[in-house]
């Protein structure tokens, strides 16, 4: 971020902080606003010679802006960019041993939760398409979005939803203390390296214990999100009832996003395959069965517009998702065998076509 004079703003600049009127202190433009010519004309009347913060290119480097800009909802786009910038800031500052801005992180989560409450389906599509190149940052954001949306669908209180979303954002902060050569290793970890990686849960808890604005249930998520109901998790081998509800919920979003993300050592697993893995973990008493069922019922695994290849080789696009059967969406079949230039060639409801399944996700 950099500080500049308001009269030096240009069309396309992104505000890294809100702008208020110099005289009345009335809010003029929100943080995250992408400046237009209309905004510049407005600022000439109220705050043309004051100072403001704008995001530099490096602040949003690593975000697939080409995909994000296809989203018509500016509020959700701004909320997502805010989440990215604060996630990047938290991780970079922790790596350098600098303090982190928890107050700004909480404000960002409040904005994100507001969008989850208004348009959770659109927010979930952002998580599903993976807009951030860096896996660690992408994972922090996506776990926050998935878990916050699930909490909303379960009718949790607004404060619980905020705490769960905040927990998702901070659950992996301990990884900032893991050597980069281990964290980003392109091959499988050795037992010694995995032992070092596992320490991120306790390290994350210790980091958050130093922050007065972080409550204990958020800290417990950082500590417990790798615990499993059968006692096979870490760091303490806790069993089901010993693991907090928030930690059990975050664990599901954590596993699902890890499975459906491309990693340097393996490709992503398809949503329906990930769902099967989650259910298998339930049968082993590793994950909370009721929460997994709710996740698979409410979280959109195949967002609208997702282009896929079917088991019979046809190219298709998701046009509807059944609330009770999210793994069997309604598809628009495309004639062409390429993503570009497809034309409608019929509609297939996968519920009525049990022999057809999704083989590959294209975008």
SS3 readout for 134-147: CHHHHHHHHHHHHH
* Alpha carbon separation from 220 to 73, 147, 247, 318 (Å, rounded): 34, 15, 7, 38
Largest separation between any pair of C-alpha atoms in the chain:
67
Tell me, yes or no, whether 120 and 236 share the same domain. Answer: yes
pLDDT per position as a tens digit, 43-84: 777 766 677 666 655 566 777 777 777 666 778 887 888 888
Which residues, at least 6 apart from 325, have a Cβ–Cβ distance to it below 8 Å?
351
Tell me, yes or no, whether 108 and 141 share the same domain. Answer: yes
Instruction: For residue 235, give the DSSP letter.
Output: S
- Cα(221)–Cα(252) distance, rounded to whole angstroms? 12
Tell me, yes or no, whether 131 and 260 share the same domain. Answer: yes
Residue 2, pLDDT > 80, answer no
Instruction: For residue 12, give the DSSP letter.
Output: T
The answer to whether 65 touches 81, Cβ cutoff 8 Å, is: no
Domain boundary pick from 41, 57, 73 = 57
- Cα(138)–Cα(122) distance, rounded to whole angstroms? 17
Structure tokens at 83: 């989440």
Domain boundary pick from 243, 265, 298 = 298
Instruction: Tell me the residue range of the domain where 344 lies.
Output: 307-361
Tell me, yes or no, whether 97 and 219 share the same domain. Answer: yes
The answer to whether 171 touches 143, Cβ cutoff 8 Å, is: yes
pLDDT per position as a tens digit, 301-323: 777 778 888 988 889 988 887 76
- Cα(272)–Cα(360) distance, rounded to whole angstroms? 11
Tell me, yes or no, whether 37 and 141 share the same domain. Answer: no
pLDDT at 47: 61
SS3 track for 280-347: HHHHCCCCCHHHHHHHHHHCCCCCCCCEEEECCCCEEEEEECCCCCCCCCEEEEECCCCCCCCCEEEE
CATH classification of the domain holding 249 = 1.10.3210.10
With cut-offs at 50, 70 and 90, classify the pLDDT of residue 269. confident
Tell me, yes or no, whether 253 and 317 share the same domain. Answer: no
CATH classification of the domain holding 20 = 3.90.105.10
Which of 302, 320, 321, 312 has its CA nearest to residue 362? 302
Tell me, yes or no, whether 331 and 282 share the same domain. Answer: no
Flag the least confident range among 121-125, 147-151, 212-216, 251-255: 121-125
- Cα(248)–Cα(241) distance, rounded to whole angstroms? 10
Report the chain's mean pLDDT, rounded to a whole number: 84
Tell me, yes or no, whether 286 and 258 share the same domain. Answer: yes
Q: How many structural domains is the chain composed of?
A: 3
Tell me, yes or no, whether 263 and 339 share the same domain. Answer: no
Structure tokens at 126: 């952002």
- What's the mean pLDDT in 10-18? 77
Tell me, yes or no, whether 32 and 70 share the same domain. Answer: no
Residue 16, pLDDT > 80, answer no
pLDDT at 343: 47
pLDDT per position as a tens digit, 107-118: 899 999 999 998
Tell me, yes or no, whether 27 and 81 share the same domain. Answer: no
Residue given tokens 């390296």 in the structure block:
193
Residue given tokens 């996003």 in the structure block:
257
Tell me, yes or no, whether 128 and 146 share the same domain. Answer: yes
Question: Residue 60, preceding bond cis, omega within 30 degrees?
Answer: no
Q: Where are the beta strands (DSSP E) in the chain?
A: 2-5, 19-20, 27-29, 51-54, 307-310, 315-320, 330-334, 344-349, 358-361
Residue 150, pLDDT > 80, answer yes
With cut-offs at 50, 70 and 90, classify the pLDDT of residue 340. very low
Highest mean predicted confidence (pLDDT) among 173-177, 178-182, 324-328: 173-177
Residues classed as catalytic: 175
- Of the chain, the end-to-end C-alpha distance in Å amounts to 31
- What's the mean pLDDT in 244-272? 87
Domain boundary pick from 281, 298, 315 = 298
Please, what's the b/e burial string for 33-57 (b: 16 or more CB within 10 A of its CB; e: otherwise)?
Answer: bbbeeebbeebeebbeeeebbbbee
């Amino acid at each position: 971020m950099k500080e500049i004079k308001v009269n030096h703003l240009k069309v396309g600049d992104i505000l890294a902080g809100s702008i208020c009127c110099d005289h009345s202190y009335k809010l003029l433009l929100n943080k995250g606003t992408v400046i237009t010519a209309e905004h510049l004309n407005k600022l000439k009347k109220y705050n043309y010679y004051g100072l403001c913060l704008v995001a530099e290119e490096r602040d949003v480097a690593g975000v697939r802006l080409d995909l994000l800009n296809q989203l018509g909802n500016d509020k959700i786009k701004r909320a997502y960019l805010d989440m990215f910038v604060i996630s990047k800031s938290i991780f970079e500052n922790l790596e350098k041993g600098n303090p982190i801005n928890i107050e700004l992180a909480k404000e960002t989560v409040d904005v994100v939760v507001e969008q989850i409450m208004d348009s959770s389906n659109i927010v979930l599509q952002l998580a599903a398409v993976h807009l951030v190149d860096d896996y660690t940052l992408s994972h922090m954001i996506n776990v926050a979005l998935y878990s916050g949306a699930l909490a909303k669908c379960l009718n949790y209180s607004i404060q619980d939803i905020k705490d769960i979303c905040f927990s998702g954002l901070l659950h992996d902060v301990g990884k900032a203390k893991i050597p980069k050569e281990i964290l980003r290793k392109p091959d499988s970890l050795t037992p010694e390296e995995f032992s070092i990686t596992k320490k991120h849960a306790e390290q994350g808890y210790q980091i958050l214990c130093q922050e007065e604005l972080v409550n204990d249930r958020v800290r417990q998520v950082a500590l417990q999100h790798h615990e499993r109901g059968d006692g096979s998790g870490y760091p303490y081998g806790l069993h089901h009832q010993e693991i907090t509800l928030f930690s059990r919920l975050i664990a599901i979003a954590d596993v699902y996003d890890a499975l459906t993300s491309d990693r340097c050592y393996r490709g992503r697993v398809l949503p329906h395959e990930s769902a099967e893995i989650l259910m298998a973990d339930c049968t082993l008493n590793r994950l909370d069965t009721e929460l997994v069922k709710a996740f698979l019922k409410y979280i959109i695994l195949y967002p609208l517009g997702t282009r896929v290849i079917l088991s019979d080789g046809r190219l298709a696009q998701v046009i509807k998702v059944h609330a009770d059967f999210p793994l069997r969406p309604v598809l628009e079949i495309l004639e062409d065998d390429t993503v570009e230039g497809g034309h409608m060639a019929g509609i297939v409801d996968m519920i009525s076509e049990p022999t057809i399944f999704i083989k590959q996700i294209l975008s």
